[in-house]
Amino acid sequence: MTDFLIAKWKIWYKSLDVNHDGKISFEDVEESRNKFTDLHNLVGEKSSGVKVDMEDWWNTYIFPTKGAEISEEEFLKMLGDQYKADKAAFNAKMSDCFNKIFDVIDTNKDRSIDLDEFIYAFKAFGHENEDIVKKAFSLFNPTKNTVPLRTVVDSWIAFVTADEAGKDDIIKKAFES
């Protein structure tokens, strides 16, 4: 595990602190899933299904125990312990993590993401500056204003697992915009 990877995990932690209060808690879950369903105008069964799936994702991949608040230090230790214990298992878990959340985010199931969907996803996670989000989207080199969902998922997986500086890292560049 490198300082480079830890620095990226810190960025990830901050990106999950939806309400920007310095900790990740169930309040962040509530805010992200409510914003997401509101922005997508999801109602009824579709809304409740997305909310359940998002809560399951947070409880499976972010919180050490269901709904438990987690500090940055605890988050970094949790990821570091998993990484040190079995790098291949860690990489598989992170692959599953991002495949699952982007499956939830892909509400129309077209396996691509357009600029509006990208903006909604970032807003749902507390990133309101549309100019920066648009710049981040452009880093994926969209074709006809669309990026394959697989490209975005693979970029996030690389962001949280690649421990070598020097490799092209779209997500890191996006957050540094």
Q: Which two tokens stand for residue 20?
A: 């920007």
pLDDT surpassing 80 at residue 1: no
Residue 16 confidence (pLDDT): 94
Residues 3-176, CATH architecture? Orthogonal Bundle (1.10)
Please state the domain extents for the chain.
3-176
pLDDT band, very low/low/confident/very high, at 163 (cuts 50, 70, 90)? confident
Mean pLDDT of 128-156: 92
DSSP string, 67-130: T--B-HHHHHHHHHHHHHH-HHHHHHHHHHHHHHHHHHH-TT--SEEEHHHHHHHHHHTT---H
Mean pLDDT of 115-144: 90
pLDDT surpassing 80 at residue 79: yes
Q: What is the pLDDT of residues 7-26, one digit of tens each?
A: 999 999 999 999 999 999 99
134, 145 contact by CB (below 8 A): no
The rounded mean pLDDT for the chain is: 91
Mean pLDDT of 141-156: 93
What percentage of the chain reaches a pLDDT higher than 70? 99
Of 126, 124, 151, nearest to 137 by C-alpha is 151
pLDDT surpassing 90 at residue 70: yes
What is the DSSP pairing of strand 112-114 with strand 146-148?
antiparallel
127, 174 contact by CB (below 8 A): no
